[in-house]
Structure 1
Amino acid sequence: MKKILFLLFLLFFLFIFQKIIFAQDSFFSQVAIYFKVEDKEAKPGDIISKKGEKLVRSDRPYDPDLFGVVATNPVVTIGKPEKDALPIITSGITLVRVNGTYEPIKRGDYITSSDKPGVGRKAPVPGHIIGRALEDFDGEEGLILVLVQPQEANFEVKQSWEKISLWEAIGRIVTALERDVPRVLRYVFAIILASGSFILGYRAFMRNLREGIRGISRNPLARHSIRLAMILNLIGIVIVTLAGLGLALFVILV
């Protein structure tokens, strides 16, 4: 009899304990802080970014300034609901406005910002995210539960490029490029600088070679001085070309 009572007491204790733990998780996942939001059209579920000292709705994919989400029904709020202040959840579980037409969202997918103000989307490639989806969604726009944890996520893209259309592949490439426009521009500038230095150096070398051969054929007695001038010009061309390539490398590394 004592063993049965002890077993019942143990089961009751475990039941109460897991309820307490669950309640604590729900409590801490629904704590929001009131912040002044400059964007007048921000509403519950919208993704918020911090631009300088202002909080506005995010409006570009993989926004590096992701801050949090406007809470829908927070359990606890910190601060006062003053004018233009909204409850923001910066870490925890809350409803987030997403769009599933870019790509269907599955539970566990990373969610990032999009070009639609305040609306999230699935992150098909690594980059800055607002959190991870806790449920599926494939509609045009709606609210889903998301574990909000703004960060830069690095993950392996598991999709096979052989199974997607050309336009979808181009779209993914464009999305990846949009994540870091300054870096892309640096690479483009470096490529132009390096190729331009090489082409100009090659053309200058060929022109110098042709003029040297013509000079020697016209005045054989001055061939030594002409050869010396050709060598000096060649050294100058090599130095200028290497300087251009070095500058291109510097642009990439900085």
Structure 2
Amino acid sequence: MGAKDKIKSDSAFSDFSASFIEKAWELRWGVKLTYVVLALDLALALIAKKTVFSLALTPKGAWEHFGLILGGIAAFSLLVSIIIPFVGGFVRVVGCFAPWEKLESDREDELPRGYVYLSSLVEHAVRENNDFAWAICRERREMYDQIAKQKSEIGLLVFGLVFLVVSNAIVGYISGVKTIGVELALYGGAPSWAFILLVVVWILREAWWGRWVREIAYYPPLADEQAHKKEKARKEELKWLRELD
């Protein structure tokens, strides 16, 4: 396999990460639809002591509840555009102080054979004015930026879903209306909710508070050069230690 062919194949870690994020991101439309239903249900309970299930689906019923539906749409817009991003950002910052590192095993610092850190490759491309190396840098930079962006957005989607379910349940309890959140709380049970909480925390941890991803690229010429310099420095250090003895 040639160098160019090898470059096209990412490391196993990068392939798995990109594939997982892509598959998870396909669920975003279903989550957003759930957003709409929960927000509408919340607004109806708060404004009219009704639930989304009580709305008539006939044209006449739709016109009768037009004001309520409009209020639900306004509440939804406010929630998803301002409140959820603000609260989610605050939670994300606070979560950074949690000791997540205690849940992680030590990671091997040695890079796979033929791989170098992306920052080193950028320096090499600038120093050597190497267009081929620059192309690899741009490709890998775009890939890592896209993964980070999608992970962040998935975390916000999941957090927003939890936020809406909890808000929906609270409003339902206060209003004395059996909203979707209230129904879920009644039929879920403590063990089920504990499990769901653990899953949500795990997703948010992976999306927002996961370990630092090593940004690497496959470039054997630079990897061999760095290995040679490292070996040379090791031999010089051993020689210096012998001289001290």
What TM-score do you get using the length of structure 2 for normalisation? 0.26
- Larger Rg belongs to: 1
By relative contact order (CA 8 Å, sep 6+), the higher-ranking structure is 2
Hey, which of these two has a bigger chunk of strand by percent?
1
